[in-house]
Chains A and B, each alone.
Chain A
């Protein structure tokens, strides 16, 4: 695991990728900082940091696009997968490297509040809170990018798809107020979800009978609950969507409030995606294509 981490980190700095990422991020944030805080003589640094998320969304694919797709292309994945390390160790090693690059980048932006602190009192709690939130959010974005990279074979498509995936979690915020909230739509939504999951099960296992029976049983349960206690389905769609919205959870950090629920959410989101990624790699061994 550490060997992979070390190699990855080195390769970030031996190839242009880390410099492109850091350069882009720091240039854009520097421009924003200069115009919004320095020239405007504004000491609201936490808000500024919050607005950096958008820039981060744009550049995070630069960091993660090559993580697995390049390995597959140059066949070096054969070295990793035939070495005595588990897929999960590979994934974690590969996750820690871009996380470290991200951490360094974030550490550099620490100069900005330092600069401001000479000219007035800063709200330290808010700034630290925002940094912690930003780091957790960034880690989640990076895991998403890694998952996409493990599922694609070219860097370009990895970059584009991870960009879309991250934007999607962003857009989820805007969808929440407009989706239907009635219990009936909630129940239908649950059935569609079950159908999609069981269709995947069928596709992977080829067991049609089991999938059909499972679908019938779980649909019946959904229906029974609907008739017994319909309010459970109230705004189910919105709840589900807000679960994937990474940015909603960010909103308390800039206020200097670190809620345990948010921290746990980000950590478990990252852990889940990393686990799925390791399964994705494991699955490739069983692939039906050459």
Chain B
């Protein structure tokens, strides 16, 4: 549905987006993830036609954004980073305006608006001036604006900013329900959000895409090694001796036993090898009780930090 090729955007000397390419298929939910200034918003602005790329091309549904902007814009609902709200309008007036701007037929628009206000739960403030609404409500009005006209592609730049935890979950669920016949691109710097909602994650840093995969695959790929964290009752020297019999170990690090005689042990095994059973039996042979054994899963957070700091070192 979206095809971006060798996309760049320069602001003077600064390269906000640096030669990135990606494809997004119909019906996908894509998360753009990255620290501030990674180029997420710039990329989204380019897809929506608000900014033009310095070089490269984007096509949406086969239409080029620069050559055929009107066709592209017809199929996009866009919620920018700062919701584009007219403060002197009421919610109803604003949504009507957005609908008319998108050339939604008058008859359909009424029905459409009722449905959206229901979905986003802003029906109770419909008659109020936007400037008097709280930040969460403003954000939701911005989101409803993107939904008006039922566009096939939704671009949501940090859609849950300013919402309380309950609303965040509601919006996430809303995004999931929309996912059926919509293609959705959302950006965030909140990691659990992306992993909860998105089928695929594009991690951006300093204008580059550093990784693109499903959240699960990303964790698996970056783990590389299997790590175990153990708490064992016993002396450090005894534990170290006992662990030597275990095969396939690549790295052992052992914390000192604290006062109660419990040591922390970190084990790294070769890829694919499951060492848990072996560790258990070797400890049991040496009468060293295992109080806790926990595989260390790399969370998206770790991956994110890993990728974005790796970039820095490189």
Chain A positions near chain B (C-beta within 8 angstroms): 2-4, 6-7, 10-11, 14-15, 74-86, 285-286, 288-290
Contact = CB atoms under 8 A, between A and B. Distances in A.
30 contacts: A2-B100, A3-B97, A3-B100, A6-B97, A7-B86, A7-B97, A11-B89, A14-B88, A15-B88, A74-B84, A74-B85, A75-B82, A75-B84, A76-B85, A76-B86, A78-B50, A78-B78, A78-B84, A81-B50, A82-B50, A82-B80, A83-B101, A84-B101, A84-B103, A285-B50, A286-B52, A288-B10, A289-B11, A289-B12, A290-B16
Contacts of A3: 97, 100-101
B241 interface: no
Contact of B52 (A74, A77, A285): A285
Max chain B Cβ within 10 angstroms of own Cβ: one of A2, A75, A76, A84: A84
Interface in B70-123: 70-71, 73-74, 76, 78, 80, 82, 84-89, 93, 97-98, 100-103
Q: Which of A7, A82, A285, A286 has the most CB of B within 10 A?
A: A82
A82 to B, nearest CB: 4
A290 B11 contact: yes
B71 to A, nearest CB: 8
Nearest to A7: B97
A82 B73 contact: yes
B155 to A, nearest CB: 9
A20 B73 CA distance: 37
A82 B76 contact: yes
A62 to B, nearest CB: 17
A122 B51 CA distance: 57
A7 B97 CA distance: 7
B276 to A, nearest CB: 51
A75 B12 CA distance: 22
Contacts of A80: 101
A251 to B, nearest CB: 41
What range describes how many residues of B lie at the interface? 20 to 34
Nearest to B75: A84
Contacts of B86: 7, 11, 74, 76
Nearest to B10: A288
B191 to A, nearest CB: 25
Interface in B31-78: 45, 48-52, 70-71, 73-74, 76, 78
B227 interface: no
A15 to B, nearest CB: 6
Contacts of B70: 84-86
Contacts of A84: 70-71, 73-74, 101-103
A285 B100 CA distance: 23
A81 B51 CA distance: 9
A12 B82 CA distance: 24
B145 interface: yes
B145 A82 contact: no
Contacts of B80: 75, 78, 82
B127 to A, nearest CB: 14
Contacts of B89: 7, 11
A116 to B, nearest CB: 39
B85 A82 contact: no
Nearest to B98: A79
B50 A83 contact: no
Contact of A285 (B51, B74, B85): B51
A77 B70 CA distance: 16
Contacts of A86: 70
A84 B71 CA distance: 7
Interface in B1-37: 10-12, 16
Contacts of B76: 82
A124 to B, nearest CB: 41
Given A6-B97, A84-B101, A289-B12, 14 more contacts: A6-B100, A11-B89, A14-B88, A74-B84, A74-B86, A75-B84, A79-B145, A82-B73, A82-B80, A83-B98, A84-B103, A288-B11, A288-B12, A289-B11
Contacts of B73: 82-84
Nearest to B48: A82
Contacts of B101: 3-4, 79-80, 83-85
Contacts of B48: 82
Contact of B88 (A4, A11, A85): A11
A84 B76 CA distance: 9
A19 to B, nearest CB: 14
Contacts of A290: 11, 16
Contacts of B82: 75
